[in-house]
Amino acid sequence: NFMLTQPHSVSESPGKTVTISCTGSSGSIASNYVQWYQQRPGSAPTTVIYEDNQRPSGVPDRFSGSIDSSSNSASLIISGLKTEDEADYYCQSYDSSNHQVFGGGTKLTVL
């Protein structure tokens, strides 16, 4: 079964840049769109990146997405970290049946 692997947790200081990776277990991650979701404690997820690198209106341009075919991975990059960015982040793509698959999530701590 296709899986997306994310680091369990990352931490960085305010003002710095953090990269959260999402690695596909097989196939080419570049052949399907990747989305990224932010989930603060006790809240529903919200979309921060869709279709690899598109930002919904209202999401600051400090958030960006990229794809690296050589490592079969996607990345969420957050620059100029703020304490409000502290949350869980999930990537999402698709398996061979075109069913949605989510990564296990990464807890971002801004300290």
Partner 1 sequence: EVQLVESGGGLIQPGGSLRLSCEVSGFTASRNYMSWVRQAPGKGLDWVSIIYSGGSTYYADSVRGRFTISRDDSKNTLYLQMKSLRAEDTAVYYCARDFDGSGNYPYYWGQGTLVTVSS
What residue ranges bind partner 1 (CB under 8 A)?
Answer: 33, 35, 37, 39, 44-47, 50-51, 56, 90, 92, 94, 97-105
Distance, CA of 103 to CA of 91 (rounded, Å): 5
To the nearest whole angstrom, how small is the minimum distance from the Cβ of residue 35 to partner 1?
5
To the nearest whole angstrom, how small is the minimum distance from the Cβ of residue 93 to partner 1?
9
Question: Which is nearer to partner 1, 30 or 101 (by Cβ)?
Answer: 101
Question: Which is nearer to partner 1, 27 or 104 (by Cβ)?
Answer: 104
**CB neighbours (10 Å) of residue 37?**
21
Question: Which is nearer to partner 1, 12 or 95 (by Cβ)?
Answer: 95
DSSP H or E stretch at residue 33: none
Burial class (CB in 10 A: 0-12, 13-18, 19+), 66: middle
